[in-house]
Chains A and B, each alone.
Chain A
Amino acid sequence: MKFRDIFLTASANMFRSKLRTGLTITAIFIGALTLTVTNGLSAGISSYIDKQVNNLGQGDVISITAKNTTSSSGAGNPQKYEPGKVSGRGSGPDAGGILLTQSDIDILKTDQDLTDIKPAYVLNPDYIQGVNGDKYVVSLSPLGGNNKLDLAAGRQIASDASDNQVVLPISYVAALGFNDAASAVGKSVTIAVSDATGEQHTVTATVAGVQQKGIVSLSGAVAGSALEVNLYNLQTIGLPAASKNRYQSASARMVGGTGDARLKEIKDRLDKLGFTGTTTADRLGAFKTVINAITLVLNAFAIIALLAASFGIVNTLLMSVQERTKEIGLMKAMGMRSYRIFLLFSIEAVLIGFWGSAVGVAVAMAVGFGANHIAANGILKDLPGFDLLLFPWQSIAGIFLLIMAVAFVAGTLPAWRAARQNPITALRYE
């Protein structure tokens, strides 16, 4: 028998007992649906997190701060005063912490595994002013050089840009008097800082882009390096030289890979030197671990459903073999090879798996697109670019292959039984 004929015969046999096959396909469908939805959720959330990670910095970027053992929650021991270390000015993201000095930066620069070390100043702007003249309080973070911000409009700030550039958070667009994100791009905004003597200075910056809202985006506006240096120079006017050049943190790129072992080595070394190294993965690690754990549990349920369904396949096909005993005997008497009988039943099993997964995946995708639509206008309204469910073709193909493989394995017992039937006993069977 030609393979094509075996395939067509198996396909036709599948529909001989429509109800029985239908029920088995339904069981597979439930497994496939669950598997597709859980994977879709996990893919959607992971993809969004990855986007956010890019907001914070690329994978090989490590953010270095001075080691701070005091904590406002009171869990740590009091920290001893050390004359070389400088505490922060009481505002900014690292308020109350210890700042990096130029000598710290010099130490970091001698480290073989770190390159491209960019110290980041603490910026304390008084206000930001747009086209309508209203002044708003703003927090301003340095870009750090390596970030890929999730932009709603405009472009990234080039790390070597020599003019004053800023990326605004989308929530400031309307407040500053712009019509929408796109129309803010290229316009000028004014940023004011006060120096140590209390005198206020203003700097004009060009809006390079507008940042999307996100769960872990950099807070507030983002300053390019030229703007960062200009503002810092203004806000430190009047400070004694010893108090200048204090850095909130420094970013560096790790050379020679970011494997787990290597990362730990670098972090341990930084720790000995009195620094704390944090990668983006560290910040989002816990979140991702939870998502992965949930996905794993849900997938485990889906696999259990599939295993139960696979016994349905075994049962359905065993009954078919029983019913078709005479037919199998006849085919063998007429010279059908045993392995083709085996194929005939295996293919029927795989087809049941295929149809179950096809319907399951189709329904899951329909549900997914519906859920994305509802979520985008509901709970995820404030998180543009967040698709609750994503269906990358690799995972869909993987689900198909997995289910068809399970179905094939389930079909082997009945198929083997059919293949080893003796034509004489089969033809005598009443």
Chain B
Amino acid sequence: MNKQTVVSAVDLSKSYGKAQNLFWALLDINLTFQRGESVAIIGKSGSGKSTLMHLLALMDQPTSGAVLIDGQDVKTLSSRKLDNMRNKKFGFVFQQFFLNGNASVLENVILPLKIAGVGSRERRRRGMEELEAVELVDKAKSKANELSGGQKQRAVIARALINKPQIIFADEPTGNLDSATGEKIIQLLFELNKKKDITLIIVTHDQDIATRCDRQIHIKDGRIQEEAN
């Protein structure tokens, strides 16, 4: 399989505070992510793993260093391009789901398409398609509040997939689920990773999940401690 770098971090550092309160959340991170691989970013809370994910997902700006998407330094891109990139290239799966409980499952799933300005008929068609992929077609019209935890996370995955992203960022995807349901979600994520050649970046503190990834990056005190395959 020919390797293609989709995201890379070059001397990436992030600090908070000033002078004697200066605190380096991340220091000199150098990483590359290939198309279609699954990578776990693992570390305890406060290790800087979430900060790293935010930087890679272009939701935050580094203090120094650079993030390259498809070889291009994102600092050179306009905010419009950045917004467009997050919309089209990335999918997000969050621990707390962030579903709008009063809206229907379908409405929640098609939100990225709505933001992208896709027409309503096309939105519906693609929404149903993704719901089918996560086996939630029968719940399309239900309110998101009525779903179980596992169903909610499947809806979130459908939402992440809807723009056919290159990369899925999953932040503690099983954090709010019991282990059996969590296992199913993880299986679904890996299946998509393999089948659709989507780069999967999972932020977790769960070693079991991490070991199933192609690569593990251990973070401690803002530095990469070890990389294991």
Contacts and interface: CB of A to CB of B under 8 A. Distances in A.
A337 B80 contact: yes
Interface stretch (A91-99, A282-290, A324-332): A324-332
B59 A333 contact: yes
Interface stretch (B30-38, B65-73, B83-91, B186-194): B83-91
B135 interface: no
A73 B85 CA distance: 89
B54 A424 contact: yes
A424 B98 contact: no
A333 B86 contact: yes
B98 A327 contact: yes
A5 B79 CA distance: 22
Contacts of B84: 335
A329 B111 CA distance: 13
Contact of B112 (A2, A329, A334, A427): A334
A337 B83 contact: yes
A333 B92 contact: yes
B59 to A, nearest CB: 5
Interface residues of A, number: 19
A336 interface: yes
B117 interface: yes
Given A333-B92, A423-B59, 16 more contacts: A1-B116, A5-B114, A9-B114, A326-B96, A327-B98, A329-B98, A330-B98, A330-B111, A334-B111, A335-B84, A335-B87, A335-B112, A336-B115, A337-B83, A338-B79, A424-B60
Interface hub of A2, A335, A427 (most chain B Cβ within 10 A): A335
A80 interface: no
B211 interface: no
B15 interface: no
Contacts of A338: 79
B145 interface: no
Contact of A334 (B87, B100, B102, B117): B87
Q: Which 7 A-B pairs have the closest CB atoms?
A: A335-B87, A335-B86, A335-B83, A330-B98, A336-B115, A2-B117, A334-B112
A331 B115 contact: yes
B54 A335 contact: no
Interface string B70-82: 0000000001100
Interface in A307-366: 326-327, 329-331, 333-338
A16 interface: yes
B80 A331 contact: no
Contacts of A330: 98, 111
Contacts of B112: 334-335
A331 B111 contact: yes
A37 B111 CA distance: 44
A336 B83 contact: yes
Nearest to A2: B117
A111 B16 CA distance: 87
A1 B98 contact: no
Contacts, number: 51
A427 B98 contact: yes
Contacts of B111: 330-331, 334
A334 B80 contact: no
B117 A335 contact: no
B85 to A, nearest CB: 7
24 contacts: A1-B117, A2-B114, A5-B120, A9-B114, A16-B102, A326-B96, A326-B98, A330-B98, A330-B111, A331-B115, A333-B57, A334-B111, A335-B84, A335-B86, A335-B88, A335-B112, A336-B87, A337-B80, A337-B83, A338-B79, A423-B59, A424-B54, A424-B60, A427-B94
A424 B86 CA distance: 14
A334 B86 contact: yes
Interface in A8-50: 9, 16
Interface string B121-147: 000000000000000000000000000
Nearest to B118: A2
B74 to A, nearest CB: 13
A327 B100 contact: yes
Nearest to A4: B120
Contacts of A424: 54, 59-60
A338 B83 CA distance: 9
Interface in A154-210: none
